Structure 1
Amino acid sequence: MFFLLNILGILVVTGLVYLCSPAKRIVKWRSILSLFIVELLITWFMLTTTVGAWTIDKIASFFTWLVACANSGISFVFPSVMANETVDFFFSALMPIIFIVTFFDILTYFGIMTWIINKVGWVISKISGLPKLESFFSIQMMFLGNTEALAVIRQQLVVLKNNRLLTFGIMSMSSISGSIIGAYLTMVPAEYVFAAIPLNCLNALLIASILHPVEVSKDEDIVYVPPKEERKDFFSTISNSMLVGMNMVIVILAMVIGYVALTSALNGILGFLVNGLTIEKIFGVIFSPFAFLLGLGGQDAMYVASLMGIKISTNEFVAMMDLKNHLNELDPHTVAVAVTFLTSFANFSTVGMIYGTYNSIFGEKGSEVIGKNVWKLLVSGMAVSLLSAMIVGLFVW
């Protein structure tokens, strides 16, 4: 019965997203089905084979190395901070952006990133029938995270029309940052974290293709290569990259502080009106039907629904810390779907981070496409998290 509920959940989430789509006529269902089949194969490979676990571990190791390189620079400037057993979000997740942006801009300078976008994007687009750049971006988010991934391909984005820019904003709700994977692994089982990462990225492409389908001509489905006359010398390029990264850190920091503070203020108002009422509890009630559709029983469903409410109103860290204290009390299926659901940045703060990133890259006019479509970003983020959890749930009982 619970297995059938899990399957029904996948159909319900997909159907609800389709109902929200303003362009139902051009949804490419063949592409959606192709992506879904690939996701089932990936999940089977990662959760049931030794080779799959080894592969994901090696990929994660590369990005862990990148973060370690970034941390060496941060430690030089802030040695006492980085020597602490626990490091604040600003230093652990935001400051590494400066180096990661610079590293990938160097790859872009020498044409390596452009080549990868073309080839990897071509493979995914052939499987899915979707545009190259969007296809590559879904893979790029796997460990880079939304803000870093957007910054890395900013030269590609500045030449796109607003309808495609919105696609990247929608997809950006469903990533995580390689810099915080280690923090996740101290709280929840690693296999479900690593299963969620590729599923979230492919589901981001899948959901965006339903919620905001865009027809891209062959002439537009290309990787932009800046003309030689626009190309600066190497040291000017990397210096500018570092400044771009620092600007992003400041903008994102402001957005995160603001949105978390607004949530706290809203909880204060709600608590004044109704004793004990919080935005987390409201969202927990709203998402409780979806918790049952994850294939969960009554008590476990309500607990996972409360984790959903905590995640969207605050962040996944708070929810994971709560889950960590209950892991031994929950059955394997509940743990699998809960961890998978929580492994993404889908919450209100992330909308602010994406808006801030767009503002830093495109200016106020370019960021309007995000401000006017916040609901699409939230629908996408929650739908992707639910789909990923439901797919993992099919393999763990």
Structure 2
Amino acid sequence: MFFLLNIVGILVVFGLVFLCSPNKKRIKWRSILSLIVVELLITWFMLGTQIGIWVINKIASFFTFLISCANQGISFAFPSVMANPTVDFFFSALMPIIFIITFFDILSYFGILTWIIDKVGWVISKVSGLPKLESFFSLQMMFLGNTEALAVIRQQLSVLKENRLLTFGIMSMSSISGSIIGAYLSMVPGEYVFAAIPLNCLNALLFASVLNPIEVTKEEDVVYVPSKKERKDFFSTISNSMLVGIKMVIVILAMVVGYVALTACLNGILGFFIHGLTVQKIFSIIFSPFAFLLGLSGHDALYVARLMGIKLATNEFVAMMDLKNQIHSLPPHTVAVATTFLTSFANFSTVGMIYGAISSIIGDEKSRIIGKNVWKLLVSGIAVSLLSAMFVGLFVW
């Protein structure tokens, strides 16, 4: 019975996102079916074979190495802060952006990154039937946070039309950052974290093509390569990259502080009228039907719905800490779907981070397309987390 609920849940999520699509006739169903088949194979590979876990670990270790390099620079400037057992969000998640942007801009300067985008994007686009850059971005999001991933391809974004730019905003809701994988693994089972990472990225590509279906011509489906006139010398390039990085850090920090503060303010107002009422509790009630559709029994469904509310209103760390304390008393299926759902940045503050990142990269005028379509970002982020959890749930009982 619960297995059937899990399957029904997949159909319900697809159906609801389809109803939200503004242009249903343009949806490429062949591409969507291809992605679903690939995702089911990936889920089996990740959860059923040791090779799958080994591959993801190797990729993750590379990005962890980049973060450790960034931490060396941060430690030089802020030795007392980085020596603490717990490091603030500003230093652990935002400051590494400066080095990550610089590193990938060096790869772009020598043509390495543009070559990778072109070739890897081509492979994924053959499977998905979607454009190269979008396909590459889905892969890039596996271990780079949404802001870092957007910054890495900012030269590509600067020449895109608004309708394609919205696709990247929608997809960015479902990323994570390589810098926080270690924190995840200290709280929840690693096999479900590593299964969620590729599923989230492919599901983000899938739902972006449903919520924002666009036609890209062969002429437009190319990787932008700056001309010689546009390129600066090497040291000017990396210096500019660092300045772009610190600008992004400041903008993102402002967005995070503002959105978290607004949530706290709203909770205070709600509590004034109804004691104990919070945004988190409202979301847990709204999403309780989806928790049942994850193939969960009554008590477990209500608990996972509460975790969903916590994640959406605050962030996944708070919810994972709660899950960590209860994990030994929960059945494997509940742990699997809850962990998978929590493994992404999809929440309200992330919308602010994405808007701030795109605004700092290409200016306010083009970034307005994100502000006008916030609901699409939220629908995609929630739907991706649910679908990934449902796929994993099919294989763990």
TM-score normalised to the size of structure 1?
0.99
Distance in 1 (CA, whole Å) between partners of 2:272 and 2:134 is: 45
Amino acid in structure 2 at the alignment position of 1:283:
F
1:150 corresponding residue in structure 2: 150
Q: Show the 5 A alignment for 1:369-388.
A: 369-388=369-388
Distance in 2 (CA, whole Å) between partners of 1:326 and 1:297 is: 16
Unaligned stretches of 5+ residues in structure 2: none
Distance in 2 (CA, whole Å) between partners of 1:385 and 1:74 is: 32
2:274 corresponding residue in structure 1: 274
Q: Show the 5 A alignment for 1:159-308.
A: 159-308=159-308
Q: Kindly state the Cα deviation for residue 364 of structure 1 after the two structures are TM-superposed.
A: 1.3
Q: Kindly state the Cα deviation for residue 165 of structure 1 after the two structures are TM-superposed.
A: 0.3
Distance in 2 (CA, whole Å) between partners of 1:286 and 1:374 is: 19
Q: Kindly state the Cα deviation for residue 129 of structure 1 after the two structures are TM-superposed.
A: 0.6
Count of residue pairs brought into register by the alignment = 397
Aligned-residue RMSD, C-alpha: 0.5
Unaligned stretches of 5+ residues in structure 1: none
Distance in 2 (CA, whole Å) between partners of 1:293 and 1:143 is: 29
- CA deviation string 1:187-230 (max 9, x = no partner): 11111111111100000000001111111111100001111111
- CA deviation string 1:299-329 (max 9, x = no partner): 0000000000011111101111111100011
Distance in 2 (CA, whole Å) between partners of 1:275 and 1:295 is: 32
Distance in 2 (CA, whole Å) between partners of 1:172 and 1:88 is: 23
1:37 corresponding residue in structure 2: 37
Distance in 1 (CA, whole Å) between partners of 2:227 and 2:54 is: 41
SS for the counterpart of 1:144 is: coil
Distance in 2 (CA, whole Å) between partners of 1:212 and 1:364 is: 21
Distance in 1 (CA, whole Å) between partners of 2:73 and 2:337 is: 37
Q: Kindly state the Cα deviation for residue 185 of structure 1 after the two structures are TM-superposed.
A: 1.1
1:353 corresponding residue in structure 2: 353
1:315 corresponding residue in structure 2: 315
TM-score normalised to the size of structure 2?
0.99
Amino acid in structure 2 at the alignment position of 1:297:
S
1:83 corresponding residue in structure 2: 83
Amino acid in structure 1 at the alignment position of 2:93:
A
Amino acid in structure 2 at the alignment position of 1:13:
V
Q: Kindly state the Cα deviation for residue 363 of structure 1 after the two structures are TM-superposed.
A: 1.3
SS for the counterpart of 2:295 is: coil
Q: Kindly state the Cα deviation for residue 183 of structure 1 after the two structures are TM-superposed.
A: 1.0
Q: Kindly state the Cα deviation for residue 58 of structure 1 after the two structures are TM-superposed.
A: 0.6
Distance in 1 (CA, whole Å) between partners of 2:55 and 2:231 is: 36
2:98 corresponding residue in structure 1: 98
Amino acid in structure 2 at the alignment position of 1:88:
D
Runs of 4+ more than 2 Å apart: none
Amino acid in structure 1 at the alignment position of 2:88:
D
Q: Kindly state the Cα deviation for residue 6 of structure 1 after the two structures are TM-superposed.
A: 0.5
Amino acid in structure 2 at the alignment position of 1:145:
G
SS for the counterpart of 2:130 is: coil
Distance in 2 (CA, whole Å) between partners of 1:30 and 1:386 is: 22
